[in-house]
Amino acid sequence: MSRVLDLLGRETALAWGRGGGAMVSGGFYLGMAVLLPLAIGPEPGRLSAIAPGAAWTALALSTLLGLDRLFERDFEDGALDLLALSALPLELTCAIKCLGQWLATGLPLAVLSPLAVIALGGPIALSPLVLACALIGGLAYSFLGGIGAALSLGARRGGLLTAVIVLPLFVPPVIFGGGALDALAGHLPWRAGLALLGAYTAAAIALGPLAMAAACRNALS
């Protein structure tokens, strides 16, 4: 357990400092919330209608920042070889790296998400569900992003390749989370969308480390 906690602390610290960490992602997220009213107009009715979906989509895009370096830095300095040879299974190591990424960037973005919705004119009553979706969906984004980061190891323009791989995988959680928020805003049943989002996140957490470990072993061989 101490090895797991030590590795989690290391990965969280690296993710926080990697490319600016949560500061860059949070700034990009809030920047999108500020720029959107300038692009579509300041009418409160129009903004409130798109606020949940816009904030949810911005969260997915903000998560992409820094994912390309999730494995690349350890791959370049040889730390990934040591992690692969350590007593911890490589699959567990990959899961811990993604969890550290989520703690450093996904969790702060989730805290900011209700503020972004309110800033866009969305109803305050949506805030608890926005936070829940951001917490659950952020985990899915981190683990799915880890798959793209592992598959792009050693490639030129790895950040672009990571985005190309990851964006299609982001579509289901965007649909499920956005559907739940839209249903609640329209006073319709919303629990099915949240349940589907949770199921997708659970699948990403269960299967993502297997794909990441296989990709890392292929890059190291």
152: pLDDT confidence band, cut at 50, 70 and 90? confident
Q: Ramachandran region of residue 121, left (φ > 0), alpha (ψ -120 to 50) or beta?
A: left
- Its domain, for residue 143, covers 2-220
Backbone φ, ψ for residue 171 (5° rounding): -60, -50
Kindly report, residue by residue over 131-147, the tens digit of the pLDDT.
Answer: 999 899 989 999 998 89
- Asked whether the beta carbons of 22 and 16 are under 8 A apart, the reply is yes
What is the model's pLDDT at position 42?
Answer: 65
Task: Give the residue with greater pLDDT, 92 vs 21.
Answer: 92
Look up the pTM and report it.
0.87
Say how many domains are in the chain: 1
